[in-house]
Structure 1
Amino acid sequence: MTKHTTISRRRFGALAGAAALAPALSTRAAAQTDEVIRIGWVGPRSGPLGIFGEADRWLADAFAAKQAGGVEIGGKTYGIEVILADTQSDPLRASQETRDLINGQNPDIVIASSTPETTNPVADACEAAGVPCITTVAPWEAFFFGRGGDPANPFKWTFHFSFGAGDFAPFYNGQWAKLETNKKVGMLLPNDADGNAIRSNLIPALEGLGFACFDAGPYENMTSNFSNQINFFKKNGCEIINAFPFPPDFPVFWRQAAQLGLAQQVKIMQMAKAGLFAAEMEAMGQLGYGLASGAYWHRLFPTFSPSLGMSSVELADGFEAATGKQWTQQPGANAALFDVLMAALGASGNPKDKAAVAGACRTLVADTAVGTVDFANGPMPGIAVTPLVGTQWVKAPDGPYDFSMEITSNALAPNVPLTAALKPYRIGG
């Protein structure tokens, strides 16, 4: 079993450890080829969001190994080079790293993932430079409308596949209906792209489903005192809390919630953005057992990554074998980035023609590690929606890890198997 540790905000960003990567680190598939396809991969590999990038080095190497013989497109064989740049969890740096990558490395395509703080500035830089860009793992509304998207005048170069803020209402309704509650939901939403998108979309939708929402108001990321929000939720008798915090902020909130008596009142503590990784739960110790989350990918997804040549189980096991750490959602989500880009490059007929690659993306339908990505029938131009499943962190019954992520609701993905029933939150499990 792993030991429970208390991880400070300063140390939280170091959860990726040695996996944190310097800008412009590259992985190349060795092959006798006519030309090389250059893929720029911008992501948070250090800082508060660094845990999202833990799998990136391993994925880049596994992808290069899979493509080592070269890729044949349009009668030519191309080598593959993946160039990684670290945003350090800073949107301004994400924008600058992308511009530097474009100006210095001339990538044929750029990929990025993990929260609007990454996807939006990267996509904006690519849109301005005329470079095809594919992103994931951020509510599509925060990506599209957060960047000033106009359905009548869509983005030309940037494409995004992910769950949507509008998906959370049916997802949560399916999850929360598993338990009897007073249907009073305390909403903890930050003042950022995620929080604003969720506030405008999710609260009205939940109220339409019969939930009473108590919004504590926007707060700034990295807040150190949540007593006002906690007392507000206690006063209103909230038995469900729905939070979308930065990963380092949730332990601060929930420890204070336990100290002030809110955790003892709550039956469902539902997280998004935070609570996605076992390392977060280990840092919470006894307070982590029973926390509810969601998964945009799980090791039990009945899916396959063509670009990596691995099933979901193989992706999870491969990550654990390579890193010595418990599997996370990121190997599957980011493998899907490679799946989509490879499908787009192949459909373009000429991967060195940026306009052809972007044109291929607009109507692309691709099988990926997270399921089918369908840009042809998305809710907005350049947008494809992928599913979420409801999960709960419980004590692992055996094995080397303390926590297990059980699938408790599959309302949006009925092909994904349920593994446990949702249980009311109790400190200590």
Structure 2
Amino acid sequence: MAGAATRVCIGVVAPLTGRLAPLGEPLSFAVRSSARRMVRLHNSGRAYDVRIAVRDSRSLPEGARQAVRDLADDERANIVLTMAGTQVLPAAADACEELGVPCVSTTFPWQAYGYARGGDPLRTFRWTYHFAWGLDDIAGVFADMWERLGVRRTVGCLWNDDLQGRLLRHERFGFLPAALARGHTLVDPGGYREPATGFDSHLAQLREQGAEILTSAATAADLALFLRQARTTGPVPRLITCSRWLTYPHTLTTRAREAHDELAGAKVATLVYWSPEHPYRSSLDGTTCAELARAYQKETGQLWLQPLGLAHALLEVAHHALAAAADPTDRAAVARALAKTRTDTVVGTLDWTQGPTPNVALIPLAGGQWQRGPHGPRLTLVTNTRVPAVPLTGDLVPAH
């Protein structure tokens, strides 16, 4: 019957519980807010009822794999969306690849996405797609901030001994070669195991090499421990650039009161991939970044988080792919639509036709710094070389 509705299902693997739960909160909000706007999908003159099914990964790789299996088999999901950490997200994506379910993911550098799924950052996939930024992009935006203190700097590295640390050091794809290309000297005292128990040897080498700047991807708790020891023995960094968990306010990434106190005045700088100041709109209903942040704060009573924009964009990409596919009920057709996707979202234009691999779309980065605000840590936008349309909201301030 012409015009009759057929159902399609969007599956969501979210870390609703466990250590990655801070990522689950903005994703859950995005699902709730977008569901009202995605009740009906139109494709080539035909209407489809849309249902969104959510499963908890429990912040565990096996939990993510089970969630995908449930969505694929029980819910018959036509596409799966996810955002999580460097172990959980690859588990979900690999499960989708194995089961032949289109998947869109986000939240960590594209090199890690490829490397964690077989050891090759340039590996291509049939079913799974990712949007994010690169380790080289992080190095570039961090170097922009280092250079506010002088053209060429000696920078200490606080990198773990796990996958993340190995990738940051990677001679071709990592953070290290991009930073060195800017003329900076990087001092890497070696990896440490998380959670850290002490940084005496790291501090000794940084003192010896005269490193005034620290770059890291540490947890809030480990960075707080480093600073506690640095204030006793030196050197205390004039500037800290930190990715990973410190893209969130430190008050949300650890319950340890001492970590909050140690980091409160550290003025940690970080990457910014989304903020209320970004000049983009949702393709679903025209919601601006500022409006999305206000809606989140009104409903949850919490300050906005950077992953909020990514979470909302996941739903936008799913809607676009289902609407553009030759048949939105055919998983292979949806995967083919993803491979050709170029669409405007609340995080900017996402384009899978431009690389750096056929499965990756890039997001440009700005630089931000956590500064004291009237309601706790405030992320101030301090560099916008790569996204000049994003307005700056303050100046970079050294810690001392």
What is the identity, as a one-letter code, of the residue corresponding to 2:378? S
1:212 maps to 185
Q: CA deviation at 1:366?
A: 0.7
**Would the alpha carbon gap of residues 37 and 185 (structure 1) be closer, same or farther in structure 2, given more than 3 Å must change?**
same
**Would the alpha carbon gap of residues 220 and 88 (structure 1) be closer, same or farther in structure 2, given more than 3 Å must change?**
farther
Structure 1 residue matching 2:116: 3-state secondary structure: helix
Q: What runs of 5+ residues in structure 1 fail to find an aligned partner?
A: 1-31
**Would the alpha carbon gap of residues 91 and 117 (structure 1) be closer, same or farther in structure 2, given more than 3 Å must change?**
same
**Would the alpha carbon gap of residues 153 and 315 (structure 1) be closer, same or farther in structure 2, given more than 3 Å must change?**
closer
Indicate which of 376, 380, 398 corresponds to 1:402.
376
Tell me whether 1:338 sits opposite 2:315 in the alignment. yes
Q: Would you say the 8 A contact 2:155–2:184 is kept in 1?
A: yes
In 2, Cα distance between equivalents of 1:268 and 1:209: 17
**Would the alpha carbon gap of residues 317 and 96 (structure 1) be closer, same or farther in structure 2, given more than 3 Å must change?**
same
2:324 maps to 347
Indicate which of 230, 234, 250 corresponds to 1:261.
234
Indicate which of 157, 164, 179 corresponds to 2:127.
157
1:71 maps to 41
Tell me whether 1:288 sits opposite 2:264 in the alignment. yes
1:370 maps to 347
In 2, Cα distance between equivalents of 1:304 and 1:217: 43
Q: What TM-score results when the alignment is normalised by the length of structure 1?
A: 0.85
In 2, Cα distance between equivalents of 1:219 and 1:286: 20
What is the identity, as a one-letter code, of the residue corresponding to 2:290? V
The within-5 A match list for 1:17-416 is 34-68=5-39, 70-148=40-118, 154-180=124-150, 183-200=153-170, 201-263=174-236, 266-278=237-249, 279-280=251-252, 284-285=260-261, 287-289=263-265, 290-307=267-284, 309-396=286-373, 398=374, 401-416=375-390
Q: Would you say the 8 A contact 2:101–2:331 is kept in 1?
A: yes
Higher mean Cα deviation, 150-159 or 162-171? 150-159
In 2, Cα distance between equivalents of 1:418 and 1:152: 34
In 1, Cα distance between equivalents of 2:58 and 2:51: 22
Structure 2 residue matching 1:147: 3-state secondary structure: coil
Q: Would you say the 8 A contact 1:151–1:381 is kept in 2?
A: no
Structure 1 residue matching 2:143: 3-state secondary structure: helix
In 1, Cα distance between equivalents of 2:219 and 2:69: 25
**Would the alpha carbon gap of residues 206 and 299 (structure 1) be closer, same or farther in structure 2, given more than 3 Å must change?**
same
In 1, Cα distance between equivalents of 2:84 and 2:220: 12
In 2, Cα distance between equivalents of 1:76 and 1:37: 12
Q: CA deviation at 1:33?
A: 6.9
Aligned residues: 389
Spell out, residue by residue over 1:127-176, the C-alpha distance to the aligned partner (whole angstroms, 9 max, x if none).
01100000111100111233137699721000111001121222122122
**Would the alpha carbon gap of residues 229 and 47 (structure 1) be closer, same or farther in structure 2, given more than 3 Å must change?**
farther
In 2, Cα distance between equivalents of 1:191 and 1:96: 28
What is the identity, as a one-letter code, of the residue corresponding to 1:416? V
Q: CA deviation at 1:390?
A: 0.4
Q: Would you say the 8 A contact 2:155–2:213 is kept in 1?
A: yes
**Would the alpha carbon gap of residues 416 and 321 (structure 1) be closer, same or farther in structure 2, given more than 3 Å must change?**
same
What is the identity, as a one-letter code, of the residue corresponding to 2:26? A
**Would the alpha carbon gap of residues 248 and 111 (structure 1) be closer, same or farther in structure 2, given more than 3 Å must change?**
farther
In 2, Cα distance between equivalents of 1:169 and 1:231: 24
What is the identity, as a one-letter code, of the residue corresponding to 1:113? M
Spell out, residue by residue over 1:9-30, the C-alpha distance to the aligned partner (whole angstroms, 9 max, x if none).
xxxxxxxxxxxxxxxxxxxxxx
**Would the alpha carbon gap of residues 131 and 184 (structure 1) be closer, same or farther in structure 2, given more than 3 Å must change?**
same
In 1, Cα distance between equivalents of 2:121 and 2:200: 41
Q: CA deviation at 1:369?
A: 1.1
Spell out, residue by residue over 1:361-390, the C-alpha distance to the aligned partner (whole angstroms, 9 max, x if none).
112101011111010111111111111110
Q: Would you say the 8 A contact 1:393–1:403 is kept in 2?
A: yes
Q: CA deviation at 1:277?
A: 1.8
Q: Would you say the 8 A contact 2:278–2:390 is kept in 1?
A: yes
What is the identity, as a one-letter code, of the residue corresponding to 2:216? A
**Would the alpha carbon gap of residues 168 and 153 (structure 1) be closer, same or farther in structure 2, given more than 3 Å must change?**
closer
Q: What runs of 5+ residues in structure 2 fail to find an aligned partner?
A: none
In 2, Cα distance between equivalents of 1:44 and 1:259: 38
Q: CA deviation at 1:57?
A: 2.1
**Would the alpha carbon gap of residues 190 and 53 (structure 1) be closer, same or farther in structure 2, given more than 3 Å must change?**
same
Q: Would you say the 8 A contact 1:39–1:110 is kept in 2?
A: yes
Q: Would you say the 8 A contact 1:139–1:194 is kept in 2?
A: no
Structure 1 residue matching 2:12: 3-state secondary structure: strand
Q: What TM-score results when the alignment is normalised by the length of structure 2?
A: 0.90
In 2, Cα distance between equivalents of 1:345 and 1:310: 20
**Would the alpha carbon gap of residues 100 and 168 (structure 1) be closer, same or farther in structure 2, given more than 3 Å must change?**
same
